[in-house]
């Protein structure tokens, strides 16, 4: 066979192969077109995603967007009538676009907005069980829970909830009027629960004070006064106390006087005015004025032990008597009105030279009865009265020295961390303490 004949044969074979593949392609295309009807697409989609979701995927996105808008409005609704109307519209819209099974029940499908979270679809059964929850009622319940925590001594938890409630109240302009937050609609026939904003700030300030966050307590109490300058006498009084705890014995005077303006029979501000005016740190220090306010305090509270102690203290100040420098002098000073302390039931410590603490080593048996700790430095006398039964097993509460079995207590001086508490065993002793100034005039 010649070369020309071979070439011709090869060309014929290639032509046959090309013709075969073109024919196959055209037949497949025709078959595909025949199977590309809406019914075929639906069947293919059913095979892919399942019958329960098919209706949602074949619908246009317009009604789904409307569902999402209604759902968002429903969840944000603050009015029960609006909530119920919105819920009814949304349920009707879902049913309108939901297929039914052979029994006539709506197929539980999820309507998912394009490009949205697949787990955030709108399902009829979930919408049907949503009930109206009045935001104001929720906030009021949170407020009450914070009060309960505060009264139970859980101040950190109380502070967190008080701040949360404040944030929610200031986001709700509709129910906030002046110093009051109304937890229900004013036109409602129901009894309306009210949260006084000044009172909320006052409670927040009290818990901050218990946590020894005095600057934050001061700010909260100032906000309380801003919201109701003449309505909460305690806010003025506690603001003055917090300032004293911040060593401000001057500006606190105006706070105590403001408390008296609101209630002239409220005795505690008179006592604190006597404390402020008698302290060395007060720029307006005046023992005569201090005595005048203390006299008024004792008229209102004649049996108050603290007032009698301060009266004795002011007497010694005015006479320029020497400072308290020893255990016996401290006991004598406190026994003027107490007469319960003696060498046996009282342990004494002055400032430790090596460490800024008051240092005690005590026989554990001493805690089986009333016991007293006396701490003395240049500026103050601290008296701890620990009642019988508070520490029946002192070895389980306090640090015991291994060399002699004595209870070892270390109390930081003023200005140090954990002032008034035992840092050796982390025991809260502050609640047993009373602090008296030991000024140069004593």
pLDDT in tens, 409-431: 999 999 899 999 999 999 999 99
How many alpha carbons lie under 13 Å from residue 84 in its C-beta half-sphere?
3
Residue 183 forms beta bridges with which residues? none
Mean residue pLDDT of the chain comes to 83
Reference 217, options 240, 183, 196; nearest CA is: 240
pLDDT at 342 over 60: yes
How many alpha carbons lie under 13 Å from residue 144 in its C-beta half-sphere?
9
DSSP 240-263: HHHHHHTT--STHHHHHHHHHHH-
Report the alpha-carbon distance of residue 224 to residue 239 in Å, rounded.
10
Highest mean pLDDT among 92-96, 135-139, 292-296, 320-324: 292-296
Report the alpha-carbon distance of residue 345 to residue 331 in Å, rounded.
11
- Beta strand 371-376 pairing with 346-350: parallel
* Joined tokens for residue 202: 């006052």
Q: Between these two residues, 312 and 301, which has the higher pLDDT value?
A: 301
Task: Report whether 356 contacts 412 (CB < 8 A).
Answer: yes
Residue 383 forms beta bridges with which residues? 374, 434
Please report the pLDDT score of residue 348 as a whole number.
Answer: 97
Report the alpha-carbon distance of residue 264 to residue 306 in Å, rounded.
20
Residue 399 forms beta bridges with which residues? 408
Please report the pLDDT score of residue 2 as a whole number.
Answer: 53
pLDDT at 90 over 60: yes
DSSP state of 304: -
Please report the pLDDT score of residue 59 as a whole number.
Answer: 45
CB atoms within 10 A of CB 72: 11
Report the alpha-carbon distance of residue 38 to residue 44 in Å, rounded.
10
pLDDT in tens, 138-173: 888 889 999 999 999 999 999 999 999 999 899 888
* Least confident range of 7-21, 122-136, 204-218, 293-307: 7-21
Please report the pLDDT score of residue 401 as a whole number.
Answer: 93
pLDDT in tens, 29-88: 554 544 555 455 445 544 544 444 444 444 456 888 888 888 888 877 777 788 889 889
Q: What is the mean pLDDT of residues 250-257?
A: 97
Please report the pLDDT score of residue 176 as a whole number.
Answer: 87
DSSP E strands in 313-395: the ranges are 346-350, 357-362, 371-376, 380-386
CB atoms within 10 A of CB 429: 17
């Amino acid at each position: 066979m010649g070369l020309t004949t071979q070439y011709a044969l090869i060309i014929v074979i290639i032509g046959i192969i090309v013709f075969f593949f073109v024919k196959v392609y055209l037949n497949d295309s025709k078959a595909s077109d025949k199977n590309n009807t809406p019914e075929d697409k639906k069947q293919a989609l059913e095979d892919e995603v399942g019958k329960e979701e098919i209706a949602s995927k074949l619908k246009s996105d317009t009604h789904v967007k409307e569902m999402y808008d209604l759902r968002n409005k429903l969840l944000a609704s603050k009015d029960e009538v609006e909530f119920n109307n919105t819920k009814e519209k949304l349920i009707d819209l879902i049913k309108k676009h939901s297929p039914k099974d052979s029994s006539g029940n709506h197929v539980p499908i999820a309507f998912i907005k394009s490009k949205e979270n697949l787990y955030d679809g709108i399902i009829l059964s979930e919408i049907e069980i949503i009930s109206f929850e009045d935001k104001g009622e929720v906030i009021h319940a949170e407020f009450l829970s914070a009060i309960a925590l505060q009264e139970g001594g859980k101040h950190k938890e109380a502070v967190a909830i008080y701040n949360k409630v404040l944030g929610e109240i200031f986001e709700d302009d509709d129910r906030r009027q002046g110093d009051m937050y109304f937890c229900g609609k004013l036109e409602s026939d129901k009894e309306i629960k009210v949260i006084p904003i000044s009172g909320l700030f006052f409670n927040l300030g009290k818990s901050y004070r218990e946590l020894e966050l005095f600057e934050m307590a001061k700010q909260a109490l100032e906000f309380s006064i801003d919201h109701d300058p003449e309505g909460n006498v305690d806010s003025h009084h506690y603001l003055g106390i917090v300032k004293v705890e911040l060593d401000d014995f001057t500006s606190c005077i105006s706070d105590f006087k403001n408390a008296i303006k609101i209630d002239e029979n409220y005795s505690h501000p008179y006592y604190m005015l006597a404390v402020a005016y008698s302290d060395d740190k007060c720029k307006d220090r005046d023992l005569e004025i201090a005595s005048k306010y203390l006299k008024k305090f004792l008229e209102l509270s004649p049996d108050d032990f603290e007032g009698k102690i301060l009266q004795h203290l002011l007497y010694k100040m005015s006479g320029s008597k020497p400072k308290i420098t020893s255990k016996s002098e401290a006991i004598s000073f406190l026994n003027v009105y107490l007469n319960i302390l003696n060498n046996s039931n009282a342990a004494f410590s002055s400032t430790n030279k090596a460490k800024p603490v008051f240092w005690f080593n005590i026989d554990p048996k001493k805690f089986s009865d009333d016991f007293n700790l006396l701490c003395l430095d240049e500026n103050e006398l601290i008296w701890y009265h620990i009642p019988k039964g508070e520490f029946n097993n002192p070895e389980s509460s306090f640090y015991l020295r291994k060399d002699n079995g004595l209870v070892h207590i270390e109390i930081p001086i003023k200005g140090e961390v954990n002032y008034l508490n035992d840092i050796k065993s982390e025991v809260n002793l502050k609640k047993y303490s009373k602090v008296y100034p030991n000024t140069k005039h004593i």
